[in-house]
């Protein structure tokens, strides 16, 4: 039985007449007549790119012949020695140019190449270009071998005009089936009737050029350097229309990548977040911002180890060690649309349970149920919200999955049941590596896995054995359908003992404490490929298992980067079966499409101000990658936090989509109640703000799940036409409406943030009015509103304050907080209405029972639109069911009311106890209304 991957979101089918064979043959003859091959219907944009023209005019060279033309501008030189350092003689023997460069960009681990391709370096030649029902097909042939072994000299190009905004092309070996990523993606039956792009082809050297029809701008041009397609080295390069590029997760650093000679390596690795190294996840997708607020994206569906090189011209090179070239070009035209188009391919994010958006608490070092219970009791006594209690490895018996130790956790099931009785949930860590050292019959997960053949095997066909926390371990192969069933059984059996609510998937790169296996790895091309990307440790087996090991679908060489994704899929499926409710999974290792099944935490971050600050672009990046449920360990995991750092991290963490405080057994404890009274008050305020905003956050997740939106987003996503937003990555937006400006430095009591043009209302003052004594009054220095023309603003930020602003034109639902979401979901609600200058605003509430499966299919939800205009606030009921119908609206606060109202009416009944502040232009209206019934509130 083949592995059945769940269907992709929004499969696309189209309708278009098939060209007759005679027409196709005639068209192919016409298309190949010119050097630059342009489909007939696209001839209006047939200008030859400058790079093609230069290459055409210069003499040919190739391996073994020193080039005659080497006057390539330094920033446009493409590396002809990506595999190793070589001498001038070796470089020229490759047919390449050699010009030493005496400088390296500051802060960059690489500089311009000394050995680089001449414009005339031989590449593939395009032939037999034919129009098809979905686009074009052609043959690519190479007559000169490259310096990599096992060149594939004949290739097949397939170009699909899939949708108006999506172009898809693949380059494959037509004679031999190569590994392709087993991710189900949309399939089309006909070409899009109209497109935002034109596609052109260069015949020799072969290249694909994609232009935006709107302005003729080239967004992809692969003619800039020869195509390489050897068995274990594939290179495809393109020019970029702008240096403003983001994506290519996972890395530590700014949201916008530097094009100043930067290399990003994608090979999932268990390593504490560090600059310029390959981290836990691989997402080969990038987004480029263009002049005028436009954007495009490119997704290379390839899971092999790879480098992505950026250079100042600007240009980008993909260098993969295997698979095929499977490329999607997404034309937006604006950044939001690019993200949605990417998610149309890899799948929309899963809908988390409501409780998963509450506060989570964990520590490696809760050594018993008694200690864990005491932590929960301390949180309750100190009046801190806590929805989900976690345990690290401490609960396990000898660090083995699906066990608990009798010494400290003898009453483990009872503790979890007590948490449930208190309205809380429980999460536990699960590592994929299964202990293999016990005698037969002593450990069911291994015995049963061995019997069912679910483990990754070595070259002898036996389970590959590595070393992880339990000692010797075997690694489940989650591409094997039998392993999915075995994993489901193990999860269900343990859940029958301990009724946990979610799973924390750690060490799933997979991580290994020895290189490859306890027996080493064979000496083979898979272990020692001709090109090794810039991986930490210098080999593919460093801190993981042998690349040559065998899995059901292929070798680990091909599947390594998918290991975390396949475990997430297996665990998602297992939790659905075991609990019958919406699963909640947080994973370390990720790949494209991960957000369909699980969230992510950013790994073993250090308790430093630098890592607090860098967590903001990391959260924004994963939202762009379709993984909105993401957060960093609040206060840091490694090292000792300080009180000030922990307060500021809690304030920022309150606006991570996923919020968990977690740290190491080797570090000082950092639960909120450990700190001074002023620090506790500041943290309590931050958590209260989060819980008050949970209905809005849940609605944002609904929109991500159904519409491919982001939850936390960079400013450029909302304001792409303002280039000053493009590099802002130390602030974040929740949806369209909330702007968070955190303090990310020690010892400061003010912070500077960028406010795009418009009016921004201080939301902390509003929430304080709604909640009364539950929230301390904000400092008097805070302005009630900022009227920005697109400018940087310095804001007061004493230790008890996080700056939170609501954008004019938006309405957000608020709810009274509780110590759990079980409590808070029963509290009355309020609306914060931020009027534009014309007196308008809009908002939304999505509500269901918070944890059931299939609520959209069954219609078991309430969805309400809120509208403000002409001095009225009304609701529009899109759907009302028992879940949500009873929600009570207790207060409406309207911001931006220019003149004092003389009269306020709620559903025809005068409201006498409204208040109005002329200083802040705020109208506060007490009401008693049902969210699920139509209402009209007006003032005059």
Q: Is 314 helix (H, G, I), strand (E, B) or coil?
A: coil
321-333 as b/e: b if 16+ CB within 10 A: bbbbbbbbbbbbb
Which residues, at least 6 apart from 494, have a Cβ–Cβ distance to it below 8 Å? 402, 500
The residue among 469, 483, 463 whose CA lies nearest residue 549 is 463
Contact 913, 869 (CB under 8 A): no
Q: Which of 290, 506, 718, 769 is catalytic?
A: 506
Residue 315 · residue 240 · CB < 8 Å: yes
A 10 A CB-CB count for 120 gives 21
**How many other CB atoms are found less than 10 A from the CB of residue 724?**
14
What burial class does residue 461 get, using C-beta atoms within 10 Å of its C-beta: 0-12 exposed, 13-18 middle, 19+ buried? exposed
Q: Is 139 buried (19+), middle (13-18) or exposed (0-12) by CB count in 10 A?
A: middle
Report how far residue 384's alpha carbon sits from residue 389's, in angstroms, rounded to the nearest whole number.
Answer: 13
DSSP helix/strand/coil, 190? coil
E strands of 556-687, at which residues? Answer: 585-587, 590-591, 599-601, 630-631, 633-634, 659-661
Q: Are 598 and 587 in contact (CB under 8 A)?
A: yes
User: 516, 465, 522, 534: which is closest to 267 by C-alpha?
Assistant: 534
Q: In this structure, what DSSP letter does residue 784 have?
A: S
With contact defined as beta carbons under 8 Å apart, do 697 and 407 qualify?
no
Pairing of strands 359-361, 659-661: parallel
DSSP string, 357-424: GSEEE--TT--SHHHHHHHHHHHHHTT----EEEE-GGGSBTTBTT---HHHHTTHHHHHHHHHHTT-
- Which residue of the set 431, 509, 567, 729 is catalytic? 509
Using CA atoms, how far apart are residues 28 and 576, in angstroms rounded to an integer? Answer: 52
334 a catalytic residue: no
Contact status, residue 197 vs residue 329, Cβ threshold 8 Å? yes
CA dihedral angle for residue 729, residue 733, residue 738, residue 742, rounded to 10 degrees: -30
d(CA 930, CA 914): 19
What is the b/e burial string over 900-919, where b = at least 16 CB atoms within 10 angstroms of the residue's CB?
ebeebbbeeeebeebebeee
Count CB neighbours of 23 within 10 A. 11
431 near 474, Cβ under 8 Å? Answer: no
**Known catalytic membership, residue 506:** yes
Q: For residue 803, what are the β-bridge partners?
A: 741
Active site (catalytic) residues:
506, 509
């Amino acid at each position: 039985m083949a592995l059945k991957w769940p269907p992709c979101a929004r499969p696309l089918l189209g309708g278009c007449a098939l060209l007759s064979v005679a027409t196709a043959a005639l068209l192919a003859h016409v298309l190949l007549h010119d050097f630059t091959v342009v489909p007939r219907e696209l001839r209006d944009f047939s200008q030859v790119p400058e790079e093609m023209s230069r290459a055409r005019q210069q003499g040919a060279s190739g391996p073994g012949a020193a080039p005659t033309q080497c006057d390539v501008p330094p920033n446009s030189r493409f590396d002809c020695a990506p595999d190793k350092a070589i001498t001038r003689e070796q470089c020229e023997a490759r047919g390449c140019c050699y010009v030493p460069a005496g400088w390296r960009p500051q802060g960059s681990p690489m500089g311009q190449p000394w050995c680089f391709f001449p414009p005339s370096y031989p590449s593939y030649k395009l032939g037999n270009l034919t129009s098809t029902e979905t686009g074009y097909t052609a043959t690519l042939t190479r007559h000169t071998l490259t310096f990599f072994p096992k060149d594939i000299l004949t290739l097949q190009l397939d170009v699909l005009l899939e949708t108006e905004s999506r172009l898809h092309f693949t380059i494959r070996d037509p004679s031999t089936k190569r590994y392709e990523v087993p991710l189900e993606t949309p399939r089309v039956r006909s070409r899009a009737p109209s497109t935002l792009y034109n596609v052109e082809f260069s015949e020799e050297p072969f290249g694909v050029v994609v232009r935006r029809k709107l302005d003729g701008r080239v967004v992809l041009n692969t003619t800039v350097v020869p195509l390489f397609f050897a068995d274990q080295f594939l290179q495809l390069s393109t020019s970029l229309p702008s240096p403003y590029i983001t994506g290519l997760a996972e890395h530590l650093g700014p949201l916008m990548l530097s094009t100043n000679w930067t290399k990003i390596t994608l090979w999932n690795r268990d390593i504490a977040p560090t600059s310029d190294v390959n981290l836990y996840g691989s997402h080969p997708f990038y987004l480029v911002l263009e002049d005028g607020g436009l954007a495009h994206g490119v997704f290379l569906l390839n899971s092999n180890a790879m480098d992505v090189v950026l250079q100042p011209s600007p240009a980008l090179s993909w260098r993969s060690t295997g698979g095929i070239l499977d490329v999607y070009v997404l034309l937006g035209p604006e950044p939001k649309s690019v993200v949605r188009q990417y998610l149309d391919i890899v799948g929309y994010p899963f809908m988390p349970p409501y409780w998963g958006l509450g506060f989570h608490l964990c520590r490696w070092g809760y050594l018993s149920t008694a200690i864990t219970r005491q932590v929960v009791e301390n949180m309750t006594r100190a009046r801190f919200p806590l929805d989900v209690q976690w345990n690290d490895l401490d609960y396990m018996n000898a660090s083995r999955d699906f066990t608990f130790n009798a010494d400290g956790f003898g009453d483990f099931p009872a503790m979890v049941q007590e948490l449930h009785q208190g309205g809380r949930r429980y999460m536990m860590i699960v590592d994929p590596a299964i202990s293999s050292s016990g005698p037969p019959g002593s450990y069911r997960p291994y015995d049963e896995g061995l019997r069912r053949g679910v483990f990754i095997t070595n070259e002898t066909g036996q389970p590959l054995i590595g070393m992880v926390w339990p000692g010797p371990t075997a690694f489940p192969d989650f591409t094997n359908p039998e392993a999915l069933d075995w994993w489901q059984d193990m999860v269900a059996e343990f859940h029958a003992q301990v009724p946990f609510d979610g799973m924390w998937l750690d060490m799933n790169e997979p991580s290994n404490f020895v290189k490859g296996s306890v027996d080493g790895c064979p000496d083979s091309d898979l272990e020692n490929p001709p090109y090794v990307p810039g991986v930490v440790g210098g080999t593919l087996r460093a801190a993981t298992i042998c690349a040559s090991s065998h899995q059901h679908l292929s070798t680990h060489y091909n599947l390594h980067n998918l290991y975390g994704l396949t475990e997430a899929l297996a665990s998602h499926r297992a939790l659905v079966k075991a609990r019958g409710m919406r699963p909640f999974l947080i994973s370390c290792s990720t790949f494209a499409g991960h957000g369909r099944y699980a969230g992510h935490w950013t790994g073993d971050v250090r308790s430093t101000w630098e890592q607090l600050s860098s967590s903001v672009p990391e959260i924004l990046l994963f939202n762009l990658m379709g993984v909105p449920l993401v957060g960093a360990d609040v206060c840091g995991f490694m090292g000792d936090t300080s009180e000030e750092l922990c307060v500021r991290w809690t304030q920022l963490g309150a606006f991570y989509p996923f919020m968990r405080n977690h740290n190491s057994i080797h570090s000082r404890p950092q639960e909120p109640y450990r700190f001074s009274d002023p620090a506790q008050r500041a943290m309590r305020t931050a958590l209260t703000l989060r819980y008050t905003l949970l209905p809005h956050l849940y609605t944002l997740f609904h929109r991500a799940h159904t519409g491919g939106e982001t939850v936390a987003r960079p400013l450029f996503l909302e304001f792409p036409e303002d280039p000053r937003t493009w590099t802002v990555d130390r602030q974040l937006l929740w949806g369209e409406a909330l702007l968070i400006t955190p303090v990310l430095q020690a010892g400061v009591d003010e912070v500077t943030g960028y406010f795009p043009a418009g009016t921004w209302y201080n939301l902390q003052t509003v929430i304080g009015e709604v909640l009364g004594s539950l929230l301390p009054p904000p400092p008097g220095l805070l302005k009630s509103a900022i009227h920005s023309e697109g400018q940087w603003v310095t804001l007061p930020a004493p230790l008890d304050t996080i700056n939170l602003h609501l954008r004019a034109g938006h309405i957000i639902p608020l709810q009274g907080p509780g110590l759990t979401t079980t409590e808070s979901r029963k509290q009355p609600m309020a609306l914060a209405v931020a009027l534009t200058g014309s007196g308008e605003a809009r908002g939304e509430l999505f509500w269901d029972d918070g944890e059931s499966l299939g609520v959209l299919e069954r219609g078991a939800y309430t969805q309400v639109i809120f509208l403000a205009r002409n001095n009225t606030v009304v609701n529009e009921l899109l759907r009302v069911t028992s879940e949500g119908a009873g929600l009570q609206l207790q207060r409406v606060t309207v911001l931006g009311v220019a003149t004092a109202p003389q009269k306020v009416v709620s559903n025809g009944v005068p409201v006498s106890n409204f208040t109005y502040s002329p200083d802040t232009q705020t109208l506060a209206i007490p009401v008693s209304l049902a969210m699920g019934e139509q209402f009209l509130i007006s003032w005059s």
